[in-house]
Amino acid sequence: MQSLELRGDGKIPMVGLGTYGVLGEQVGKTIKRAWELGYRHVDTARNYGNERDIGRAIKDLNREELFITSKVPPSSLTRQGVINSINQSLEDLGTDYVDLFLIHWPSENMDLEMAMEGFKKMRDEGKIINFGVSNFGTIDLDMAIDIGEEMGMPVTVNQIQINPRNNNENLRKYCQNKGVAVVGYSPLGGGEMTGNPVIEPIGEKYGKSVSQVIIRWLIQNGVVAIPKATSEQHLREDIEVFDFELSQDEMRILNKL
Ligand SMILES: NC(=O)c1ccc[n+]([C@@H]2O[C@H](COP(=O)([O-])OP(=O)(O)OC[C@H]3O[C@@H](n4cnc5c(N)ncnc54)[C@H](OP(=O)(O)O)[C@@H]3O)[C@@H](O)[C@H]2O)c1
């Protein structure tokens, strides 16, 4: 599995397993199967309500090989709120640390500096390895970068929606130019892009599905992809994306969709 170097500490695998809406036994079964297939990166959030189920699923896996991302909800963006939320996530996940913790969304009422102090305390205690944000536009991102620089806690990631229908190109480039890694959520547009008449013929050339071409396109744009898959076929497809390369022309076609 290819990885992307983070400004904070370590590397993030280029493909992760999205888990929004996957609960109970299903998330357990999915994570175990994903692990067997080679996934080493799981994306969750306090708001997904599945951290306890994920905790049960990962307890027999080699923790050091697994990259876990979770997120603090906007309603917890005070110093103590962040600390409480992360501690609860750690307890539910049954782990001493999480590789990447994000602010799930910016909130109009948040005191970003105070919230980031909560993250810093958890980072200094080794409970989170990297700090990042999600759904941050350029103004909030710049503010977080500045505060982070003063605190010695870099913003390592901005997790934003990226798929061919909404490629968020300007924001993606803005982040990348600032050394903030981009993680693309809903890469498959919620699964509604299969059969796309522009992408399908590109896939046929490589013996790949539309979803595989899309995930490959994210990766070649330097973006980490976190597709959510539960079926065996989808899980397999979404990670078998490292044995072909889109040409520059094909990248341009996808960038313009
Ligand atoms: N930070 C945020 O605010 C935010 C927001 C949204 C999502 N996310 C994260 O991003 C993850 C992914 O986004 P998403 O769940 O919205 O949507 P997505 O990954 O774009 O699409 C998921 C859908 O695509 C299907 N699928 C997966 N692989 C496929 C394949 N190879 N061929 C055809 N269909 C395929 C899945 O089906 P099956 O399940 O039936 O296999 C599922 O219905 C989330 O689970 C979550 O972890 C973060």
**pLDDT tens readout for residues 37-76:** 999 999 999 999 999 999 999 999 999 999 999 999 999 9
The three-state secondary structure class of 5 is strand
pLDDT over 90 (residue 202): yes
Question: Residue type at 74?
Answer: P
Q: Please tell me the distance from the alpha carbon of residue 98 to that of residue 44, in angstroms, as a whole number.
A: 11
Q: Which stretch of DSSP H or E encloses residue 156? A: strand 155-161
Determine the pLDDT at residue 254.
Answer: 96
What is the band of 195 on the pLDDT scale with cuts at 50, 70, 90?
confident
Q: Strand 181-185 and strand 41-43: pairing?
A: unpaired
Contacts of 250 (CB under 8 A, 6+ apart): 202
Candidate from 41, 51, 185 with most ligand 1 atoms within 8 A of CB, to mutate: 185
Number of neighbours of residue 109 by Cβ within 10 angstroms: 9
Ligand 1: list residues with CB < 6 Å: 18-20, 43, 104, 134-135, 159, 185-191, 194, 209, 211, 226-231, 234, 237-238
How many Å is the Cα radius of gyration of the chain?
18
pTM: 0.97
The structure tokens listed for 67 are 């990259």
Instruction: Copy the structure tokens of residue 206.
Output: 């490589």
What pLDDT score was predicted for residue 207? 98
pLDDT band at 79 (very low <50, low <70, confident <90, very high): very high
pLDDT value at 8 more than 80: no
Average pLDDT over residues 128-132: 98
